[in-house]
Structure 1
Amino acid sequence: MTVKKVYSVDTSALLDGLERYYPQVAFPALWDKVDGLVAEGRFFVSEEVWEEARVHDAATKLWLEGHPKDSIVVPTDVSIAAEVQEILGAYPKLVANMKGRNRADAFVIAVARKIGGVVVTGEGSDGNENRPKIPFICINSQIECIRFIDIIRLEGWKF
């Protein structure tokens, strides 16, 4: 039996999917499949991503708010907070000089750790110790990290 993957999704991946590359109006079948992942309990965002993503574009806000919050959001509880603290302890520059941007990054990784999931991000893999990005931290933490398009491939969806 194949183990089905569970996804912790970053704001940048939602923006890639809903606004940049695969808008729901043009790719309704894709978003029906993503909705299926939500219904199966396999597609999650952190509370911080929920808040961050809803301020960008109407498409992202509408899609998120089209789901019961408790079906898609992993709340920031003590275990998530402890994971975030550990991540920021190891990578303090993750939040340095970001002027409020990317505040959800550590939470995306913490949720993936908690649920045993895969991180989905739109960030590039050009991060380093001085400017850590989600993929860099995932590689160093041995957490699978993919882009939105990779969900389609991993799930074997055909359109």
Structure 2
Amino acid sequence: MSPLPDIRVGSGFDVHAYDHESPLRLAGIDWPGEPGLSGHSDGDAVCHAVVDALLSAAGLGDIGGLVGVDDPATHNAASTGFVRLALQQLAEAGFRPVNVSVQIIGNRPKFAPRRSEAEQVMTALVGAPVSLSATTTDHLGFTGRGEGIAAIATALIVRSA
């Protein structure tokens, strides 16, 4: 019988309030005409949750340990770069992603019309399948009141051969 592969699972969560003065970048793509998300970087809650899920799975901490919110170099930075940094740390620790699943919670933008595009962008970025889904909270809580977006990610990684 062959030994079981070293498979690990990690989860990540991120939330950002809407910022009507910024453009929206979510799941690595721009959403013209939608309010942006507040934050030191571009506020892409999907990318931030993915970073936390990948790092968590490998026992490498979280996004705060990877990039600081006080670092001028990350001010308004594209969060796709944070995903690349997390993937680099994963590789250095001897792991690679198998897949990532992300649930987006919010009233807007309407995600379904661009789901396929966002999945393609995130899959290319991560180098493994990324599935995205979206839901609302039926007008409950800050997302239901239209104050922001939350994202929950789960990453499956395996030790590289």
TM-score of the superposition, structure 2-length normalised? 0.26
Question: 1 or 2, which has the higher strand percentage?
Answer: 2
Question: 1 or 2, which has the higher helix percentage?
Answer: 1
TM-score of the superposition, structure 1-length normalised? 0.26
Task: Specify the structure having the higher radius of gyration (Cα).
Answer: 2
